[in-house]
Structures are given as structure tokens and as C-alpha cells.
A and B are shown apart, each in its own frame.
Chain A
Amino acid sequence: MTRRERTVDVLVVGAGPAGLGAAAELAASGVRVEVLEREQSAGGIPRHCHHGGFGGRGGRAGGGLSGPEYALRCVAAAERAGATLRTGITVTGWAGPRTLDATGPGGLERITARAVLLATGARERPRSARLVPGSRPAGVYTTGELQQAVHLHHQHIGTRAVVVGDEPVGHAAAGTLRVAGVEVVALVTGRPPEPLAVLRRGPGAPVLSRTTVTGLTGRGRLAGVTVRHEDGRTTTLRCDTVVFTGDWIPDHELARRGAVALDPGTRGPAHDTSYRTGEPGVFAIGNLLHAVESAGTAAAEGRAAAAPVLRHLATGSWPAGRTALAVEAPLTWIAPNLIGPGGEPPLDNRFVLRTGRRRAAPLFEVRQSGRLLHRQRLLLPARPGVPLHLSADWLDRADPHGDTVRIRMR
């Protein structure tokens, strides 16, 4: 008994908002599209984000739906359009350029597609990956694990928690902790305090800024989190639970195993404004590209990928060399990060970026071979963990076969 071999037009890996968005759009245009999801139910991360804020494009405050409601809506849209959704199926590797191997309770499969869409999402770096030293007690979570423990499994968490991180996801973690009856002692962030923090929907617990976690203590169960303030002061926050939030890393295993080139900044597949990766016929969408954006953005990317996928199915063409986009510190990444040959604009005619440090009145400069292509002042301050947008109006001035385009923020 071996692998069942099949072919489809389009194979989507991952049934989160991105994969489902692409599937809905493609199926609606009559393409045979199959989505494989390794979890038992489709919907991706929103399935266990019980807070509101889903459905819009602008992050936390962007929409009126809860995560599970939003997940159901994404699933329904894809199914209505005629996409085939198969859950409990894990894509395990590649057998050829557009041929993937999968495992499910029904056996092993080998599926060849004319186009492959990778939509495998992103995860938070756990404590170990952040090299936080100390003991290895129980009570250490990422937001993903915490949310599943609370909302899907109704598990007992603890009594006093520290949240590491002060991005929207850290606030979501604090909310989940409170729902679970856990007191949130503090949110800890290495960043400076937010001047206008009081105006935003706050986390409801003190934020210790310019502070890093230097270790965990406690044998068996967590007893405390030791922290160091920028000025050298150290203290131990007594708690039995700690949640490491944010610090995203795209789930790029499949991409890397398929020799899809990554962008050094995002750690997701390098891709152009049409979601084309370096591998012919392989597209990438959603948080795999850039770690966490809102679910609405991931879904919109999925839908936007449909047109280039259809074009590829019709013509079979794939750009050879493409010009890369590169950012300078404090910028950490830009997506998309390749310029397509036809100068196609990105989603909403703008690039998404992140900064590692705050800038009050940021000014973007875009250059190629020293030549200034574009200059743009942002109205809002640039803050770590929050999307920045750069207009794509300069794209037609760039040479798509020329040197790397460099983006600087001052």
C-alpha cells in the first residue's frame, strides 16, 4: 500500500483566513481548488481568539466579530463557492516542484497541482526560542497555547500571571487570562512607554516598559519572573503563570523544505506584489509572508492572490529575475519584498512594514542605486509591533531589473 496520487488545479495548504479567502475566490471563478488543513476544523488562528475585533482590516479594533464567528464565516464562504476543504490532513513535504505529500487518517497522498498556495500562518516564538534562561517549570505559555487551553479545553491556568509583550496580542492574552480568572500582575516590554497609551484601549494592568525578562524561577511550578530595567534595576515578579506574546515567526517549514527562498527580514517566503515566490507555480499568502497582520488583511491577501493565480494557470509564465526590496534599521521588514516585472501594485497600493524602534514623525525614503524614488511623511508615529504603510506610487519609477530598492525611515 503506498500513496494515493492525484492532481488538482490549485492546492492550498492551510485553512486560515488567507487560505480560505483564496479558495473562495478561486472556486468562484470555476477553478478546482482543494484546501488541506492539519487541524480537525478549518478557520485557522481565529478559531480560538474569543475576543472581538475580527472582520475588519485595521487590527484589533477593526471588526465586530469574535474570532470563532469570523472563522465560521471564512469557512462558509469557501464552501459556498465550491472549494473542497479537507481537515485533519497534514502536508508533510514535497515530492516535486508542485507536488506535495500529505498524511491523514485515510492514508498517504501525493497531490500534484498546477499552482500551490502556501498559507501556513505564523506562530509566537516560545520562551526557549527567546533564550530566556532559568528553570523549566509548568505555567509557561504562548498566547496560542493559552487561548486553546482556556477556550477550547477549559483548563485551569493559575492565579497570578505576567504577560511578556505589549502589542495587541499581549492585550488579547491579558484578556484571556482575566476570562480564566487569573490576575494579570504586569505586562513587560523592552520598549519605551507609549506617550499616548492612556488614549488607547489599555491592557488594564501596569505596563513595565524598558524592561526585559531575564529569567524564570520555580521548580515544578513557576514561582516568578525576574526582570531587569534598562537602568539596571532588577526585581522578581511573583507569579505562577507567564505568557510570552508576539515575537512572530512565520511557519515556513514547508516553504523551506521546498527550497522556496525566504526574505531575511520577514523570515517568510520572498514574494512579489502578485504573491509569487521564487519557485514557479508556488504562491504564498497571509501571515506566512510577514507574521501577524489582522485576520482581515490575511483574508484580503488570499482573495487578492486569486487573479495572479488565474493568470498563471492561463499562461504558465513566471518571472525570472526580480528586484528585491530591502529595509534599513530601525525598519525590520517590508512585504511584499520583490518587485514584479510588470510593476503590478500591491494590495491597496501599499507596502506593509515594521519598525524595531519608535519614531515620532517618520519619513520614508525609497532609493534605487542611490536615486531617490520616493519620499513620504507618515502622520502617525511609527511604533514597534504595529503595521506601517508605504505608498506604492513610486513603483513605475523603479527599474524592475535593476539594483535592490532600499527603504529607509528617518
Chain B
Amino acid sequence: MTRTVTRAGQPLPEGQDYDVTVIGAGVVGTAIARELARHRVRTALVEASDDIGNGTSKANTAILHTGFDAVPGSLEARLVREGQRGLAVYAAETGIPVERVGALLVAWDQEQLDSLPGLLTKAESNGYHAARLLDASRLAEIEPHLGPGALGALEIPDESVICPWTTPLAFATQAVLAGVHLHLDCRVTAIETGTEPGNEPGTGIHTLTTTRGPLRTRALINAAGLHADEIDRLLGHDAFTVTPRRGQLIVYDKLARDLVRHILLPVPTAAGKGVLVAPTVFGNVLLGPTAEELDDKAATESTEDGLALLREKGRRILPRLIDEEVTAVYAGLRAATGHEDYRIKEYPELRYVAVGGIRSTGLTASMAIAAHVTDLLARTGLDLGAPVELPHVTMPTLGEAADRRPYLDAVLIAADPAYGTVVCHCERVTEGEIRDALDSVLPPRSVEGLARRTRAGNGRCQGFYCGARLRALTARTRP
């Protein structure tokens, strides 16, 4: 199968119309594209930025949720539950790092303690039966560095941490290998809908105006994340409005990793899920996120107040964490719609599915969302045919707990000494891994893209040692 990935400056392919076009290559859009790749339809995935996973999907807390605390009976509850199972299996097959560290909902006062049994019941009504209550002494035993005053906890043994970057990358790589066309630097700015009055459903063609020219497609899926409401409006709807809800996060040094063994969740309040402390699959510790309602969909800045708030909360949860070095600070924007559920809706007469309001669980639910959306699409009259097997993909070994990162793999180094040459010292990323990323199906375009594929440059020195070399390496491969 030929691979089609196009970028700014290259023409969009002419000729045949697409059967389906997915707008937005975040974790949701790439999952949908991958699902469609199993079918006999010509699919395009169009993305405004220069890389996949460049929006909300690159900046979250990276938890593979069980969905124990979802609103029972909601679409989100079902898709999170199904998505978690699907993604856990997929991750094991493809090598996406996942660590099943478990979560503890820690009660810091009597009121919170009193609410734990209710949360246990809620977990059960969400079909999750492994949760259990822990008393203060058991809690102190399994989380010895917790701050003083913790009264007890609800344990969710299956909550896991996952790699947020290799997940959409695996989806997109597999989709491209199976024939999906990926068009980067390709923002959709206008849509001429193909249904004229009197037309039979399924006959019209949508013409998308993009920053790289027109693109024609029979069916359309809107997975534009924070901009899904704008795309929806281009189709004449006024169904929902996306309000960005910023979450700032602090990443602590790997030397802090031994301080925490579980995902430490606060007891949820009306104000949201609150600030957590969690290990990452890269061996760091995460503190965050904040929850701030904004109106700017590009406002991924961190703020003085936000960071101060996180440190204050973090000091209570894990006092020693705050004395450790900070490796990175970032912020992500959740796509809130003022509605406690996903906004996924099909419009058969338009052969269009809107995938909106994928709030704070989209990474977990991505594969289930993809399956759901594909079902809806079939119902709009598109003939998908029987699904086929996808080409297998193996993702680079990014997880710190992986059996063997390349720099520790004697067999690999013997076969190819480039895996013994460390370029990024903090993250121990080798020349071999960087070369592989630059030669991959979806090569990075920037040092940030390289970082998401290899971890290179993401470490404690933030480029003091390797930044200039990494820039030289990525620049060299750019056409």
C-alpha cells in the first residue's frame, strides 16, 4: 500500500473524491481514521497543524481511566469503560507504554471520608467492582510519603498511566499504512455542504475549503477538538459551544519518582476532578491540573497563580515533592461544552457525524469513540463493507518501566551500535532511536515532534546538553 502524507507546499491529491474525511488528527481523530482504515472506504484525515496529536492530545494527565467515577448511564461512562479495555489490549499489542499503578482517592477531612462509600457505590454502578476502602494505617503503609492528615482512601486498582504521545501516533501510523491519506498543515476554513434540497441522502458531495486548497468528500467526521463547534457551525448547526478549560501541570524530576506509588486523586467536588499527583510512564511525577474557564482556545500559557496553586495543593498531598526539581510545566485545554457528557451526534441527511465535547477522558475513550462513530456513520448510509485486519505496528520503547529501553539492550546494541550512543542524556535517548523516528512513517517536523516520539530533549536539563544537537538533527532531515 502506498503511504500518503502531505504537508504545506505540496498539492492535495486530485482526482477521486474521498468517501470519508475526518477533520482533526488528535487522539480522537486518529482513532477514528484507524477504525475507518479497517474498511473499504477512501479516507482522508486532515489536520490544521504540522503534526498529529498537536492539540489537547499532547497535553493531558495521561491516565487510562477505569471510568469508576463517570456519570452512570452516560455515553461517556460507556465509552470510557469500553475504551479503557480496548486501549489496554491495543497498548499491549503495539508497545504503547502503560503502567497499572492503581489510584487512591485520598480523603483529607471527615466530609471527604464520609463520601467514599458513595463513590464506591458509584463505581459499582459503572460496572467497576474492584474498588475498595482503605483505612488510614493501610494508606500510610502503601503510600509512605503522603502528607500528614490523610484519613483513608478509596483504592481503584486498575487505574493506569499511559503514554499520551505514542497512542495517537500508533493510530495515525496504522491508518496511514492501511491507506488513509493524512494531510497536515491543512486547516478547514469553509464547508460547502453537498445536500441540496430534493437530493437523496448519500449523493451529495461536501467540498471543504482548506488552507491547502479544496478537498471533496462524501461523508464528514468532525473531530476538531476545541474547534469542533466552529466546524459544526460551518455545517449550519448551533448545537454546542466549546469553552476551553485550562489545566496547568508541573512535571517533577525522575528523582522524585520513588515518592509516589499510585495515582493520588482528590475526592471529587462540584468544582471538578481537582489536583492529582501521578507517576508518568516516563518515570516522572505529575502535579496538576488546574481548572480554569477561559475564552481563548489557544491559551495554553501557564500562570504565576496557577503554578502557586498547584504547589500549595501538592505540598499537602506529598510534601517532599515540592523540594524536588521541576522538569517541565505545561498546560492543556479541555473541550468543555457546559454539558456533562460527550456531544456525539450523527446527521444522516448530511452524512456527517459531530464528535464534540470530548472533555477530560478522550485519551481513554478514543478507541471506543472511534467504534461508536463508525457505527453511526454506517447508519448514515455509507457502505463500510466487512472489516479487515490492519497492518501491525510496533511503537518505540518509550516507557521507563519497559523491560528494556534501547540503551539497556545488549542484543540491540550489538546488532546496531547506534542504540549504544546516548544523545539525550537525561532521558537516555540514543542515536538509533532518533534516526528511527526521523525515518518513520510519520517523521517529526520539529524538536517538539521528535520529543513526543523519542523523549529526547524532554529531560531535566531541557536542552542544556542536547538541545542544539537535536535541532541540528531535525533540521537536517527537513526537505
Contact = CB atoms under 8 A, between A and B. Distances in A.
Interface of A: 1-3, 38, 88, 90, 92, 103-108, 123-129, 131, 133-136, 141-142, 144-145, 148-149, 152-153, 155, 214-215, 217, 219, 249, 253, 256-257
Closest 4 CB pairs of A and B: A105-B417, A126-B462, A149-B468, A148-B468
B413 interface: yes
Contact of A133 (B301, B411, B421, B465): B301
B325 A249 contact: yes
8 contacts: A103-B413, A105-B417, A105-B418, A124-B464, A126-B464, A131-B250, A145-B463, A153-B468
Nearest to B328: A128
B407 interface: yes
A134 to B, nearest CB: 5
B94 interface: no
B468 A123 contact: no
Given A3-B410, A103-B408, A107-B414, A153 B464 contact: no
Contacts of B301: 133-135, 215, 217
B300 interface: yes
Nearest to B426: A253
Contact of A131 (B254, B307, B411, B414): B307
Nearest to A150: B468
A216 to B, nearest CB: 8
Contact residues of A: prevailing secondary structure: mixed
B125 interface: no
B302 A155 contact: no
Contacts of A148: 467-469
A90 B468 contact: no
Interface in B351-406: none
B164 interface: no
Given A126-B464, A131-B326, A133-B306, A256 B255 contact: yes
B41 to A, nearest CB: 35
B298 interface: yes
A38 to B, nearest CB: 6
B300 A135 contact: yes
B425 interface: yes
A105 B413 contact: yes
Interface in B318-370: 325-330
B467 A106 contact: no
A144 B413 contact: no
Given A2-B410, A90-B428, A149-B471, A105 B464 contact: no
Contacts of A88: 421
Contacts of B468: 145, 148-149, 152-153, 155
B303 interface: yes
Contacts of A149: 467-468, 471
A3 B254 CA distance: 25
A297 B80 CA distance: 59
B460 interface: yes
B463 A126 contact: yes
A253 B411 CA distance: 26
Contacts of B462: 126-129, 142
A107 B411 CA distance: 8
Contact of B307 (A92, A133, A135, A136): A133
A123 B306 contact: no
A129 B422 CA distance: 23
Most buried by A among B303, B408, B414, B462: B462
Contacts of A142: 461-464
Given A1-B410, A90-B425, A153-B468, A131 B255 contact: no
Contacts of A106: 417, 420
Contacts of B421: 88, 104-105
Nearest to B307: A131
Contact of A123 (B250, B255, B465, B471): B465
Interface string B291-307: 00000001011111011
Contact of A108 (B306, B330, B408, B460): B408
B477 to A, nearest CB: 15
Nearest to B326: A129
A136 B330 contact: yes
A247 B330 CA distance: 21
A199 B302 CA distance: 40
Given A92-B408, A133-B307, 15 more contacts: A1-B410, A103-B407, A105-B417, A107-B414, A107-B420, A125-B325, A126-B464, A131-B326, A135-B301, A144-B464, A149-B467, A155-B471, A215-B303, A253-B254, A257-B255
Contacts of B330: 136
Contacts of B472: 153, 155
B329 A131 contact: yes
A3 B414 CA distance: 11
A124 B461 CA distance: 8
Nearest to B430: A103
Contacts of A144: 461, 464-465
Interface string B436-479: 00000000000000000000000011111101110110000000
B425 A214 contact: no
A134 B413 contact: no
Contacts of B467: 141, 145, 148-149
Most buried by B among A103, A106, A214: A103
